[in-house]
Amino acid sequence: MADPHETAALARTSLHCASLATLTTYPRLASRSHVTTVAVSAGDDGSAVVLLRQGAPAAQHLLARPFATVTVAPAGCQRMTLHGVVQRLASKDEAGRLAFRVQAGAVRLGHDETPVATVAYINASPDPFGRDASAVLAHLRSRHHAEQLAACLRALGHDTQFAEPVGLDRHGLTVLAVSDSGVALVPLTFPTAITKLADLPPDLHVLLTCHCRDSTGPASATDLRRGASRGEQP
């Protein structure tokens, strides 16, 4: 059985990393729900704050029936669905869009809709690597680092011919390893759970953050994320 606290942290991480969401509203006078794509951000309590232009059908639905479902599936994270009552916020964004807060009434994680304990979800914290993981993993998928990862696994006793990093969180790196015996997911656990890359031992820090083309030294995960957003290659 999955650790409820770990499941809650995964759900919080999914919302924390999302910038877009599918919003489902439930009009009073319609037989079907209404689905639209919205900008989303995470509240400190795990609620979802969505933005809607004034006059949008979904905004009218929420004002008439303040209940909604928010679904997010950002890259590198599991799909997460949050159902809850809705509160209109007084603030608007610079484009004049209305802000609505969807409280965490019920939370589901993954495509199998695994229930997440609401209290555990509210009290959980998103993984500190959530927003950096996709950029760091893209960096590690370069040919240079793929060979290094395969060598690391061979040094640990795995007969690895090819390695592909597929996951990164505060506990470690997960690698897809291919060998003569088949394909397996291999966890490379950090010595201790960490909150930022700078806490890693120097050899791991360089592996995860170095700029292969830059002789001036390692880059931060934020630099990698900015580079990825501009389409730069590691």
Q: For 162-171, write each residue's pLDDT tens digit.
A: 888 887 877 8
Range picked from 86-95, 103-112, 223-232 for highest mean pLDDT:
103-112
Q: Please, what are the domains in the chain?
A: 4-123 (2.30.110.10), 130-229 (3.20.180.10)
Q: What percent of the chain lies above the pLDDT cut of 70? A: 83
| Residue labelled with tokens 């083309």 | 213
CA distances (Å), 59 to each of 29, 41, 54, 156, 214, in order? 15, 17, 7, 55, 48
Given a cut of 80, whether residue 74 has pLDDT beyond it is: yes
Given a cut of 90, whether residue 134 has pLDDT beyond it is: no
Q: Taking residues 26-51, report their average pLDDT.
A: 93
The overall average pLDDT reported for the chain is 82
Q: Taking residues 155-160, report their average pLDDT.
A: 85
pLDDT band at 115 (very low <50, low <70, confident <90, very high): very high
**For position 60, what pLDDT does the model report?**
95
Q: What percent of the chain lies above the pLDDT cut of 90? A: 43
Q: Taking residues 2-17, report their average pLDDT.
A: 89
pTM metric for this prediction:
0.68
Least confident residue range of 76-90, 95-109, 134-148: 134-148
**For position 143, what pLDDT does the model report?**
62
Residue 81: other Cβ atoms inside 10 A: 22
**For position 216, what pLDDT does the model report?**
35
- 15's CB contacts (< 8 A; 6+ apart) are 40, 42, 46, 48, 72, 80, 82, 126
pLDDT band at 144 (very low <50, low <70, confident <90, very high): low
